């Protein structure tokens, strides 16, 4: 099964992100837009895993989470990867001045590496993917729309848990099913 570990966001934030997608659609670029229920911050994409490893992954999540207290982040701003040229991914930013997400992601990487998962080589940038560009036609207009948006705030959320998701690829898009939830370890 395909799996990943992520942080979920509440419906109020997701609704505002869907409104931002609607404004970006007007650029006329062919984009596969994420549905509201798919919006999350991926901490670790595991790829194809044997279902027998789910318990070991859940244990790694527990170890990574036990050293982290719940914390707050702001979802704000829009951007695209790559930062210049034709965008391939449209995203909303996550502001975490305390670096909590980065430390949590680093602890997960270390624990999962012990289980044989390869460490991510790219730098980690917490974000919520809003869409993936499918055709470069209209990509310049899409970038202009992204850059033309005012610095928008979508909301603040208290992060209290990690979620291990199964990702099933279907013709209508991926379906994410929570397999395990792990609360962050301690309150400050």
User: Which amino acids are annotated catalytic?
Assistant: 40, 127
Can you tell me the distance from the alpha carbon of 19 to that of 30, in angstroms, rounded to the nearest whole number? 17
**Which tokens belong to 37?**
């229920």
Can you tell me the distance from the alpha carbon of 58 to that of 39, in angstroms, rounded to the nearest whole number? 21
| Interior angle at CA 131, CA 127 and CA 136, nearest 5 | 125
Question: To which residue do tokens 């901490």 refer?
Answer: 43
**Which tokens belong to 132?**
């993936």
């Amino acid at each position: 099964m395909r799996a990943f570990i992520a942080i979920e966001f509440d419906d109020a934030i997701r609704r505002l992100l869907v409104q931002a997608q609607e404004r970006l659609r007007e650029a006329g670029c062919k984009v596969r837009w994420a549905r509201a229920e798919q919006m999350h911050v991926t901490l670790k994409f595991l790829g194809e895993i044997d279902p027998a490893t789910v318990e070991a992954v859940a244990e790694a999540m527990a170890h990574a989470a036990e050293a982290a207290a719940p914390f707050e982040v702001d979802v704000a701003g829009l951007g695209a990867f790559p930062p210049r040229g034709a965008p391939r991914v449209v995203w909303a930013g996550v502001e975490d001045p305390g670096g909590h997400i980065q430390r949590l992601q680093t602890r997960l990487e270390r624990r999962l590496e012990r289980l044989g998962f390869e460490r991510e080589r790219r730098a980690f940038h917490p974000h919520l993917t809003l869409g993936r560009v499918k055709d470069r036609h209209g990509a310049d207009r899409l970038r202009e729309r992204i850059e033309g948006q005012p610095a928008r705030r979508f909301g603040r959320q208290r992060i209290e848990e990690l979620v291990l998701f199964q990702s099933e690829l279907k013709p209508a898009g991926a379906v994410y099913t929570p397999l395990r939830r792990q609360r962050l370890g301690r309150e400050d």
